Amino acid sequence: MDASHASGPGLAKTRGERLVRVRVVTALRTSDARFRAMFETADVLSEGSVVSASSVSTWFGTTSLILAWPPGMVSPAERAFVAALASRDPHVRLRAVRVAHREAALRAPGSLGCLECEVRVEAGDDGLRIDVDVQAPLTLPFHLGAHKGPPP
């Protein structure tokens, strides 16, 4: 094959590896204990319903949590930044998903299969708002309108 028709980049000279590389990194860490306390006192609102398509019934629901700002700890100027950090914190996200799963399991008319979730976090004036949308197949048969719990 002729060198003028070769595919891909040709050879190039390099200057070699530098002796020293400098990289400045800013690391941030949230307080798991503070977020745990915020979750313990959070306002929780959940709703959901079953959608039946062919032979599969699926639970669709939303759980909204309002985590009140700790007094004097987060200024109004810092709230959006804290919300951005919380949205990337795996511990915060996991706590929110666990609350949403518990809420869905309490409200669904049957046992839930594997849960799929979408988590959104935003800053509000009254606190950190976390919305978790859940979707899960119902694994046990159920009848719409059937009574759940002990007989009346």
Q: 109 CB contacts (<8 Å, ≥6 apart)?
A: 50, 138, 142, 144, 146, 148
Parse the chain into domains and list their residue ranges. Answer: 30-137
CA distances from 22 to 17, 19, 25, 27 (A): 13, 10, 10, 16
Nearest to 120 by CA among 144, 100, 150: 100
Query: Among 3.30.980, 2.60.120, 3.30.70, 1.10.3470, what is the CATH number of 30-137?
Result: 3.30.980
- pLDDT averaged over consecutive 10-residue blocks of the chain (152 residues)? 65 79 90 94 96 87 96 92 95 97 93 95 96 92 53 48
pLDDT at position 152: 47
Three-class SS state of 52: strand
pTM of the model: 0.76
